[in-house]
Amino acid sequence: MDNSEEPASNIIVDSKESAFYLDAAKYWEQVPPTVDGMLGGLSSISDIDLKGSQRFLNSIYQLVECPGKERALDGGAGIGRITQGFLMKNFPVVDLVEQDKQFLEEAKKSLEPTNHKGQFFNLGLQKFTPETCVYDIMWVQWVLGHLTDEDLIAFLKRCKLGLKPRGLIVLKENLTSSGEVEMDNTDSSVTRPRALVVELINKAGLRIIKEQKQQRFPSDLYEVRMFAIQPV
C-alpha cells in the first residue's frame, strides 16, 4: 500500500476525528520546521540523542537473531532529523512518515542533496499502514504520545505486518516517573509511565527484547527509554 497518494494537507485529520488529534495538528502547524522546533527549543540535545540511538542500534545488531540492514522507517519523521542524522548512516533506504506537510517538505528539501532513497508519506501514524514485509527496522520516536491508547495498539499491530523476518520496531519515548499518564494541553499529547507503555506493547502482540535508558540528557527532562520490540 502506497500511502504517498494520500491528499497533501497540512492538517490531515478530518472532522470525524477527536479534538485530541485536531489540536495536535494545529499546534505543530505553527512550529517552525527547524531542529529547535522539532525538539521544543532543546536543539542542544540532538547530537546526544542521535549518538544514544546509534549505540542502541549497535547493541541490537549484536543479538543472535538480528534484523537485516536494508530498509528502515522513520515514524513521525518531522523534518528528517533522525533520518539524516542517524538512520541513513545505517540503512540505504529510509522511508519517512509525517503528518505535517510543512515538515515533510522541509525533509525533502534537506535530503535532496544527499544520497537519500526512500518514500515520503504525508499522514499521521494513526492512519499509516506499512507495505507488507519490507522493513528491517521501524524507528518511532517522540510521537506515540500523540496517539490514543487504542490507536497506538492498532498502529503497532499494523507495524508487525510491515516487518521482514527478524525485523524490529524501536520505540523511543519520554516516560513519566509518577506512574500516571500526564497530559500536555499545549501540544495535545500524553506522556505515559513505563508500565502502561509495556502493557500497550503486549496488547499489540509484541514483546520487548531489549530496553535501554537514554543517557546524558538534562536531569529536568522526562526519562527517555528505547524499546526494541518484535512479534510474539
Which of 144, 154, 93, 139 has its CA nearest to residue 119? Answer: 93
User: Alpha-carbon distance 127 to 9, whole Å?
Assistant: 14
Whole-Å CA distances, 134 to 83, 130, 219: 17, 8, 38
**Which distant-in-sequence residues (6+ apart) come within 8 Å of 5 by Cβ?**
none
What SS3 string covers 202-226? HHCCEEEEEEEECCCCCCCCCEEEE
Q: Which residues pair with 172 in a beta bridge?
A: 141, 226
Q: Which residues are known binding-site members for S-adenosyl-L-methionine?
A: 76, 81, 125-126, 141
Cell 535501554, located at residue: 212
Give the containing element (helix H, strand E) for 156. helix 149-162
Contact (CB, 8 A) for 159 and 134:
no
Q: What angle is formed at CA 24 by the lines to CA 94 and CA 215, rounded to 5 degrees? A: 55
Annotated binding-site residue numbers: 76, 81, 125-126, 141
